[in-house]
Amino acid sequence: MLERRNITSADGARKAQIVASDDLIFLSGIHPDTLDGDIKAQMKSALKNVDAALAEMGEGQGSIFMIHIWLKDMRYFSAMNAAWNDWADAENPPARTCVSGELYRPDLLVELVVTACRTKGGTA
């Protein structure tokens, strides 16, 4: 079974922010709620949105396999890492990559893509 949630076209592209199968959960286009603030504030907000999306699927941080982080500029890496380290489980962190590139809005400093699994037996 494939399910799609949080279908939006807020940025001009129609997409589901959450797509899940029997075993996997994919989160895309996860960004901060507000674009005010520095990279640390934006990263904290984006990670809060990861938590909320996973909770919607009945899961938590422990179900994450991999997070891909897209930064507007690698100069933000150290401050972004500080927010990440405050959030990530020190004993069970997910795999992670971080790259920089132009994001779709000039005031957006970070965007996340997440792959997780269902650990609690199927659909939420």
Asked whether residue 60 is domain-assigned, the answer is yes
Asked whether residue 93 is domain-assigned, the answer is yes
Residues 6+ apart with CB under 8 A from 68: 96, 97, 98, 99, 112, 113, 114
Residues 6+ apart with CB under 8 A from 10: none
Asked whether residue 65 is domain-assigned, the answer is yes
Asked whether residue 86 is domain-assigned, the answer is yes
So what's the pLDDT on residue 31? Answer: 92
So what's the pLDDT on residue 121? Answer: 53
CATH code for the domain in which residue 13 is found: 3.30.1330.40
Asked whether residue 122 is domain-assigned, the answer is no
Asked whether residue 91 is domain-assigned, the answer is yes
CA dist 115 and 105 (Å) reads 24
So what's the pLDDT on residue 8? Answer: 72
Evaluate if pTM is beyond 0.95. Answer: no
Q: Which residues of the chain have pLDDT under 70?
A: 10-11, 121-124
Backbone angles phi, psi at 16, to 5 degrees: -100, 130
So what's the pLDDT on residue 59? Answer: 95
Range of the domain at 42: 3-117
How many domains does the chain fold into? 1
